[in-house]
Amino acid sequence: MELVNKRIAEYTESFTTEEPEIVKRLIRASEKNLEHTDMLSGRQTGLLLKLLVQISGAKRVLDVGTFTGYSALMMAGVLPENGELITIEMNSRYREISDGFFSKEPYRSKIRQIMGNALEVIPGLEGNFDLVYLDADKISYPEYWKMIRKKTISGSLIVLDNMLWDGMVLNAKEGKEYAIHKTSELIRDDDEVDQLMLPLRDGVTVVRVK
């Protein structure tokens, strides 16, 4: 399903600020070394994350699902000097790419990558987060949402990617599309948050804890 007219999508992206050069290098490295790179968040989602970090003044960020590091670099690049971004990934192949970028300053002092299953890692993380970005395995989105909510406080932002799942959420009965739809229901029924679902790329939901 074409969620947004291709020409409109290209037009809006042409008027969206480009990524920093280091992020462009990460994209090229990902495309060179991996067969499928559609899991990269993309320029418009990346700029949205960057702006949300800047506007909110976030100092502590959780990135659930590193892939090769696109979203982590976009957000960490605008964190204050004492800012921290924790990113979780379980695929060592992706880490081989992200390590080369996370090791550079100013990212080296801001990004902490944890290798492992995020469902097992998140409960053990100490403290709360100002902003959380979720872009991990879709079947576990409802569980991730419940865990993330426990790590956020009033004013925290939560951003969830792929919330339209190529339009399949419209007739969700099972599988990943049902898990995503269920997550949207959980968010909608949470009286302590405000949420906005955007038809951006594959669907992005922005949540603010009241």
Question: How confident is the model over 114-120, as a mean pLDDT?
Answer: 98
Write down the pLDDT at residue 3.
77
Rounded average pLDDT over 123-140: 98
| Domain interval for residue 19 | 6-209
Q: Is residue 1 in some structural domain? A: no
C-alpha distances (whole Å) from 12 to each of 38, 75, 109, 202 are 19, 21, 34, 15
Average pLDDT, rounded, for the chain: 96
Q: What is the CATH number of the domain that holds 95?
A: 3.40.50.150
- Amino acid identity at 77: G
Confirm whether 81 is domain-assigned. yes
For residue 202, pLDDT beyond 70: yes
Q: Which helix (H) or strand (E) holds 107?
A: none
How would residue 38 be classed by pLDDT, with cut points 50, 70 and 90? confident
User: Residue 188 pLDDT more than 90?
Assistant: yes
Q: How confident is the model at residue 36 (pLDDT cuts 50, 70, 90)?
A: confident
Q: Give residue-wise pLDDT tens across range 95-111.
A: 999 999 999 999 999 99
Q: Could you give the CA distance from residue 209 to residue 141 in angstroms, rounded to a whole number?
A: 18
The whole-number average pLDDT for the span 124-130 is 98
State the pLDDT at residue 70: 98
Per the domain annotation, does 45 fall within a domain? yes
85, part of any domain: yes
Q: Is residue 176 part of a domain?
A: yes
In a domain, 151, yes or no: yes
What value does the mean pLDDT take over residues 62-69?
Answer: 97
In this predicted structure, what is the pLDDT of residue 27? 97
Asked if the model's pLDDT at residue 141 lies above 80, the reply is yes
- The answer to whether the CB of 85 falls within 8 A of the CB of 76 is yes
- State mean pLDDT over 133-143: 98
Beta bridge partners of 153: none
| Percent of the chain that is helix, strand, coil (3-state, to 5) | 45, 20, 35
Read off the pLDDT band of 1 (50, 70, 90).
low
- 94 in any annotated domain: yes
Domain count, the chain: 1
Establish if 166 belongs to a structural domain: yes
Q: Token match 């989105």: residue?
A: 141
> Quick one: pLDDT at residue 35?
86
Q: How many CB atoms lie within 10 A of CB 20?
A: 15
